[in-house]
Amino acid sequence: MSELSTPQTGSPLLDRCPDSLPAHYYFDPAHHDLELKRIWRRNWIYAGRVNDLPAMTVRRLAIAGENLILVKDGDGTIACFHNTCRHRGAELCSAAETRLAAKLIVCPYHAWAYDLKGNLRSTPYVSVTGDFRKEDHGLFKVNVRLWNGLIFICLADPPPDFERVPDLGAKALDHWPMTELMTGRTMVKELACNWKIFWENYNECLHCPGIHPELCEVVPIYGKGYMAANEAPDWTPASPERGTRLKPGARSWTVSGEPCGPDFPGLSEEEKARGQTFVTLYPTTYLVAHVDYVRVVSLRPLGPERTELRAEWLFAKATLEAPGFDLQAATALVERVVAEDGAASEMNQRGLKSSAFTAGRLMPQEYDVFNFQQWVRRQLEG
Ligand code: FES
Ligand SMILES: [Fe+2]
């Protein structure tokens, strides 16, 4: 596409080259604090999978500068609270994960005890006067939403409407048995980059030919720098192929292109033929569902220039337990791709700190980077 050409109707390409976000948005501590406040404390944040949190367990969570606990009771109900006692504010749980012997969370300081719904139950050793009511001193609650076997929490009250968060709609993964899947592998990396850099990299494939040679073998269109066929300069509405297909013979994102287990029953022919279904939930998570496995990739900012990246591979129990199942073969391609994206994100971060660089320019193909940046701008204004 030449600089002056105008995209076809129906093409996602931008008709101009807008400025990228200001460079200081990626490293300035004061701006980072603003993003924590306006983005990370206002939106639904991924907090792990339901199946990976055992019953009668308390798990610590650190999100957007808050010290929280996630609690699963004996019936499987999940709640989230600030990790703070209502007496004088002591931290309730200091271990990363605690199994509960009784249905109580007991403060280690003066032993105030709360039930697993957060209600204050007992205040031992103290005499209480008439101006103190236990029912006014339950744990500070945080909103929880379960979706497709994933736990999301939101620090805002009231929280935003969750149904609007998944970009393909809350029903996009209804044909996958999401709540039954087992986590076969979890990879956690700390990246030396701002969290937005990883999302920007996720939102374009101009880097694919140079950064992901193996992935481009499996998904040939990526080798042209496109995410979908309608990005091609010669695409017209008369050539309506918009999707992304795997190479002939390939059916999943594995090194060989072979699925690592049976197809999930219930997928439509279109879902199988597509090869991958991406669902994006800003600011924390994207999922990629294939015929044989699903992966969850999530981000958590640790500082202006530090981000935790977590990738989880989910399989049917029968696939994981099948004789000869090769976890390494199932995950190796994506592990490499995620490592390549992490390294590219760190490279981007190092370069944009030049005092000479104040903002980049987005090319027409970077329409989804632009859409993400517009989302960030709207969040910051809001
Ligand atoms: S601070 Fe928790 S019981 Fe005193
Ligand atoms: Fe990539």
- Which pLDDT tens digits describe the chain residue by residue (382 residues)? 444 466 677 889 999 999 999 999 999 999 999 999 999 999 999 999 999 999 999 999 999 999 999 999 999 999 999 999 999 999 999 999 999 999 999 999 999 999 999 999 999 999 999 999 999 999 999 999 999 999 999 999 999 999 999 999 999 999 999 999 999 999 999 999 999 999 999 999 999 999 999 999 999 999 999 998 888 888 888 776 767 788 999 999 998 899 999 999 999 999 999 899 999 999 999 999 999 999 999 999 999 999 999 999 999 999 999 999 999 999 999 999 999 999 999 999 999 999 999 999 999 999 999 999 999 999 999 7
Same domain flag for 226 and 140: no
Same domain flag for 250 and 364: yes
Considering only CA atoms, give the Rg of the chain. 23
Same domain flag for 238 and 376: yes
Which residue, by CA, sits nearest to atom 4 of ligand 1?
110
CA dihedral sign, ordered 218, 220, 223, 225: negative
Ligand 1 cavity residues, CB under 6 Å: 85, 87-88, 90, 107, 109-112
Same domain flag for 207 and 348: yes
Residue 279: beta bridge partners? Answer: 287
Q: Cα of 107 to ligand 2 centre, how many Å?
A: 45
Please give the tally of structural domains in the chain: 2
Which CATH number covers residue 104? 2.102.10.10
Of 106, 135, 162, the residue at which a domain comes to its end is 162
Report the atom number in ligand 1 closest to the C-alpha of 85. 2
DSSP state of 165: S
Residue 1 lies in a domain: no
Same domain flag for 143 and 223: no
Same domain flag for 136 and 279: no
> For position 233, what pLDDT does the model report?
80
Of 135, 162, 189, the residue at which a domain comes to its end is 162
Same domain flag for 265 and 145: no
Q: Is the pTM value of this prediction over 0.85?
A: yes
Report the atom number in ligand 1 closest to the C-alpha of 111. 3
**Looking at the chain, which runs of residues are DSSP E strands?**
19-22, 45-49, 57-63, 66-72, 78-82, 97-99, 104-106, 113-115, 120-122, 141-147, 150-154, 182-191, 277-281, 285-289, 293-303, 306-315, 359-361
| Three-class HEC string of 269-312 | HHHHHHCCEEEEECCCEEEEECCCEEEEEEEEEEECCEEEEEEE
Ligand lying closest to the C-alpha of residue 205? 2
Which CATH number covers residue 362? 3.90.380.10
Same domain flag for 112 and 241: no
The parent domain of residue 187 ranges over 19-27+181-381
> For position 244, what pLDDT does the model report?
77
Residue 330 lies in a domain: yes
Residue 340 lies in a domain: yes
Same domain flag for 209 and 356: yes
Question: How many other C-beta atoms lie within 10 A of the C-beta of residue 102?
Answer: 10
Residue 32 lies in a domain: no
Yes or no: say if 319 and 325 are a contact pair by the CB < 8 Å rule.
yes
Token couple for 344:
């590219």
Report the atom number in ligand 1 closest to the C-alpha of 112. 3
Same domain flag for 342 and 221: yes
> For position 241, what pLDDT does the model report?
72
Q: Cα of 19 to ligand 1 centre, how many Å?
A: 52
Q: Cα of 187 to ligand 2 centre, how many Å?
A: 17
